Amino acid sequence: MATTVEFLGAAGTVTGSKFLVESDGRKLLVDCGLYQGLKELRLRNWERLPVDPASVDWVVLTHGHIDHTGYLPRFIKDGFRGRVFATRATADLLKLLLPDSGHLQEEEAAYHNKRGTSKHKPALPLYTAEEGRGAADLVTGAAYRERLALGPGVGITFKRAGHILGSAAVTVDVATGTETRRIVFSGDIGRYGAPILPDPMPIEEAEYVVVESTYGDRRHDPEPIPQQLERVISDAVKRGGAIIVPAFAIGRTQELMYHLSGLEKAGRIPRLPAYLDSPMAIGATEIYCAHPEDFEGDMRRMVMDRNCPLHCGDFRLARSPDESRAINEIKGPVVIISASGMVTGGRVLHHLRLRLPDARTTVFLVGYQAMGTRGRLLQNGASSVRIFGEDIPVRARVETIHGLSAHADADGLIRWLRTAARPPKRVFLVHGDPEPAKSLAERIKTELGWEATVPKYRDRAQID
C-alpha cells in the first residue's frame, strides 16, 4: 500500500505548517499550524481543510510556535478525536500559547464587531481562549530519543532541534506490509553554536526529509551577537532614548536576556533599566527553567540547581497592564522587551505608538519579519506604520540583528542535512518563501547531490 505526504500548509510560505502522512488508511498530521501574516494566507485559516479532521488518527507537533500548533484548537472543534503528541517542554509551552492565541482570536472578532468591519455578523473567533486551553490539555508530552509506537506500524521519535525550548525534529516510521519507510520532519532548525540550547541532534537514518527553508538563501551576520548588541546599545544610549525590542516570547527573549546580562556584567554596556513586558515571555522563561532535559552541560547543571541561567532576577517584570503603562513614564535610556516579535499585536504596540515618533528611540528587530507584518514595514524603512487605526510617523532608528534568529541560516540547514546517515531519496523544502526555498533546493542538489523539490500547497508526494 502506498504511503503519501500531503503538504497542507507552509508550502511556498513560512506559516501554516501541516503535513499529512497517510498509509494504509492511517492518518498522521505533522504540525497543525496557523497561517499568519498576509491576509490572503490568514483567510485560509477559515477554509475547511481538504482532510476531514475526524478521519485523522494522530497529530504530532514539532514545537510550540503558533505557526506550527495554532490550528489545533480549530482542528479539534472541527471533529478531530485522536491523540496529540509533542515533547514535554512543548506540551507545557502550549498551555500558555494556545489559550493566548484563542484570546487574540476573540479580541479580533470583538474588534470587527465593534467596527462592523467583517462581512460576518457577528464575526466569530476561529476558536476561544477556553478552546485553546482544552486543546493544550490534550497534548501528551514525550521524551527525546524515545520511540513512541502510536499504533500498528506507526512510530515517532523526537530529536532536539535547537530552535526554541522543546523544539524537535520528528522521525516518522511507517510500516506497510514488510516494508518500513522513514520520513524526518525538521520542524524549525535552530542555530549551531547558539547559547542556551544545545545544537540540533543528528538526523541519522532517513529515506525522506522534509526540511524548513526560512533562511534558505541567507547567511547570518558573522559579527558575533554580543558585539552587534554592544554597538547598537551603546549608540542608543548616546542618543538617550528607549530601546524597544519587539521580541518573540519564546526563544529570542531568553537569548537576548542572556546576552544583555552578560554584556552588563562584563561592563561592556552601561547598566540600564530593563523591562520584560510580556506575561507570555515571563511565563515562557519560567518554563525554560523547569525543563533540564532540554539543555546540556553548564546550562543543564544551572537549571537543575535552580540557579536561573537566564538571569531573570536582573529584569523588571511587568505582569499587569498597570506595570506595563508605568514604563511610559520612563525618560532616558531603557530597554523594553515586549511581544510580539513581528509587531502584529501585543503590548509592544503601545510602546511603539508612544515612542516611534521620537528620533531618540531605537527599535531593535531580532528575528524573521514575515511579509505583511508591521515588523517587515519597519525593517524596510517605512515612514509611518498603522497602529490602532492611527498612522504613526517613524522617526526612530530601526536596527535588525539577524544572527539572533531562532532559525539556522542556509549553511546551518546544510550542516543539519549532512547529519543524515546516508543520502535520502528526496528532500522536500517547506516553510520558506519561494526564493529561499528554491535557493536551498539548488544548494542541496549541487553541494550534496541529493534530489530536492519545493512542493506546492496540496501537492501529494509518494513515499516509496
* Interface residues toward Zn ion, by CB under 5 A: 65, 188
As measured in angstroms, the least distance from the Cβ of 308 to Zn ion is: 24
Distance between CA atoms of 218 and 400, rounded to whole angstroms?
14
In this complex, which beta carbon is closest to Zn ion, that of residue 82 or of residue 341?
A: 341
As measured in angstroms, the least distance from the Cβ of 65 to Zn ion is: 4
As measured in angstroms, the least distance from the Cβ of 188 to Zn ion is: 4
Identity of residue 268: R
**Cell numbers given for 176:** 506497510
**129-137 and 88-115 helices, crossing angle to 10°:** 160
As measured in angstroms, the least distance from the Cβ of 186 to Zn ion is: 11
End-to-end CA gap in the chain: 10
As measured in angstroms, the least distance from the Cβ of 249 to Zn ion is: 12
As measured in angstroms, the least distance from the Cβ of 262 to Zn ion is: 24
In this complex, which beta carbon is closest to Zn ion, that of residue 11 or of residue 274?
A: 11
CA 120 to chain centre: 30
In this complex, which beta carbon is closest to Zn ion, that of residue 164 or of residue 257?
A: 164
As measured in angstroms, the least distance from the Cβ of 96 to Zn ion is: 15
In this complex, which beta carbon is closest to Zn ion, that of residue 31 or of residue 106?
A: 31
As measured in angstroms, the least distance from the Cβ of 166 to Zn ion is: 11
As measured in angstroms, the least distance from the Cβ of 460 to Zn ion is: 24
In this complex, which beta carbon is closest to Zn ion, that of residue 7 or of residue 248?
A: 248
As measured in angstroms, the least distance from the Cβ of 61 to Zn ion is: 11
In this complex, which beta carbon is closest to Zn ion, that of residue 168 or of residue 276?
A: 168
Closest-CA residue to 171 (of 152, 147, 151, 192) = 147
- The residues, any chain, with a CB within 8 Å of residue 226's CB and separated by 6 or more, are 259, 262, 263, 268
Cα-flanking dihedrals φ and ψ of residue 349, to 5°?
-60, -40
What count of other Cβ atoms lies within 10 Å of the Cβ of residue 320? 9
In this complex, which beta carbon is closest to Zn ion, that of residue 10 or of residue 109?
A: 10
Q: What is the largest CA-CA distance in the chain?
A: 70
As measured in angstroms, the least distance from the Cβ of 163 to Zn ion is: 6
In this complex, which beta carbon is closest to Zn ion, that of residue 250 or of residue 337?
A: 250
Cα-flanking dihedrals φ and ψ of residue 118, to 5°?
-115, 150
In this complex, which beta carbon is closest to Zn ion, that of residue 201 or of residue 327?
A: 201
As measured in angstroms, the least distance from the Cβ of 410 to Zn ion is: 17
In this complex, which beta carbon is closest to Zn ion, that of residue 214 or of residue 228?
A: 214
In this complex, which beta carbon is closest to Zn ion, that of residue 167 or of residue 261?
A: 167
Going across the sheet that includes 274-276, the strands are 316-317, 274-276, 334-338, 242-246, 362-365, 397-400
- The residues, any chain, with a CB within 8 Å of residue 143's CB and separated by 6 or more, are 87, 88, 158, 293
In this complex, which beta carbon is closest to Zn ion, that of residue 18 or of residue 65?
A: 65
